[in-house]
Structure 1
Amino acid sequence: MTSVIPELRTVRDLRGVSFGHQPPRHGLKLLHWFSSECVAFDDDGDMELQCDPDDGDYGFHHYGNYEGLLPTLINCYGYVYFEVGNLNADTHPGALDLPKYVREAYDNRRNFYERNKDRIIISLHRSTKLIEEVYITEHQSGSGDFSPDGTYLLSSDIIRDAGNMQLIDFLQRAGFELVMSLVDSDGEGSLSSNSSEQSDQTDAPQLEVRTGRGGHALVTWWGVHEGVAHNAWVGLFRVDTEPDESCLVKIRLGGRTSGSYETSEPLNHGLQVRLFTHFLGYSVWRGPEFDATCGIGPTSIVGFPAALQLYTEHGHAHTRLYIRKSFIDWRSSFYYSVRQRYTQK
Structure 2
Amino acid sequence: MVRILNNLSELKETRFGQPRPRHGLNLLWWFAHYCVQIDSNGRMTAQCDPENGAFGFHRFYNKERLLPKTTLPYYEVGNLHTPGSLPDYVTRSYTGQSDSSNTDRIIVSFDSRWKRFEKIYVTQHSNLVRFDQNHTYCISTDLLKNIKELSRNDFLREPTNGSERVSIIFICCCLLF
TM over 0.5: yes
Once residues 165 and 122 of structure 1 are traced to their aligned partners in structure 2, the CA distance between those partners, rounded to angstroms, is 22
Contact 1:20 1:118 in 2 (8 A): yes
Once residues 144 and 168 of structure 1 are traced to their aligned partners in structure 2, the CA distance between those partners, rounded to angstroms, is 31
TM superposition score normalised by structure 2: 0.87
Contact 1:11 1:174 in 2 (8 A): no
Residue in structure 2 matching 1:172, options 157, 161, 168: 157
* 2:7 corresponds to 1:10: yes
Letter of the aligned partner of 2:129 in structure 1? G
Contact 1:14 1:174 in 2 (8 A): no
Match of 2:164 in 1: 185
Unaligned stretches of 5+ residues in structure 1 = 90-94, 190-202, 204-345
Q: How does 1:228-307 map to 2 (within 5 A)?
A: none
Letter of the aligned partner of 1:139 in structure 2? H
SS of equivalent residue, structure 2 residue 66: coil
Contact 1:13 1:174 in 2 (8 A): no
Once residues 172 and 110 of structure 1 are traced to their aligned partners in structure 2, the CA distance between those partners, rounded to angstroms, is 26
Match of 2:74 in 1: 81
Match of 2:61 in 1: 64
* 2:82 corresponds to 1:97: no
Indicate how the Cα distance of structure 1 residues 110 and 63 shifts in structure 2: closer, same or farther if over 3 A, else same.
Answer: closer
Shift of 1:18: 2.7
Cα deviation, 1:212-262, whole Å, max 9, x if unaligned, reads xxxxxxxxxxxxxxxxxxxxxxxxxxxxxxxxxxxxxxxxxxxxxxxxxxx
Question: How many residues are aligned here?
Answer: 168
Cα deviation, 1:163-210, whole Å, max 9, x if unaligned, reads 12101111122629xxx9xxx9318x9xxxxxxxxxxxxx9xxxxxxx
Whichever of the two has the greater Rg, that structure is 1
Indicate how the Cα distance of structure 1 residues 72 and 99 shifts in structure 2: closer, same or farther if over 3 A, else same.
Answer: same
Contact 2:15 2:160 in 1 (8 A): no
Q: How does 1:180-219 map to 2 (within 5 A)?
A: 185-186=164-165
Residue in structure 2 matching 1:144, options 115, 120, 129: 129
Shift of 1:5: 1.0
Once residues 135 and 88 of structure 1 are traced to their aligned partners in structure 2, the CA distance between those partners, rounded to angstroms, is 20
Once residues 64 and 155 of structure 1 are traced to their aligned partners in structure 2, the CA distance between those partners, rounded to angstroms, is 22
Unaligned stretches of 5+ residues in structure 2 = 173-177
Match of 1:319 in 2: none
Shift of 1:84: 0.5
Match of 1:20 in 2: 17
SS of equivalent residue, structure 1 residue 146: coil
Match of 1:110 in 2: 96
Shift of 1:126: 1.3
Match of 1:159 in 2: 144
Shift of 1:110: 3.4
Runs of 4+ in 1 over 4 A off after TM superposition: none
Shift of 1:8: 1.2
Match of 1:35 in 2: 32
Cα deviation, 1:38-68, whole Å, max 9, x if unaligned, reads 1111242211110111111111111000011
* 2:110 corresponds to 1:124: yes
Contact 1:38 1:49 in 2 (8 A): yes
% identity of equivalent residues? 36
SS of equivalent residue, structure 2 residue 73: strand
**Going by fraction, where is helix more abundant, 1 or 2?**
2
**Going by fraction, where is strand more abundant, 1 or 2?**
1
Higher relative contact order (CA 8 A, sep 6+): 2
Shift of 1:113: 2.2
RMSD: 2.2
Cα deviation, 1:276-332, whole Å, max 9, x if unaligned, reads xxxxxxxxxxxxxxxxxxxxxxxxxxxxxxxxxxxxxxxxxxxxxxxxxxxxxxxxx
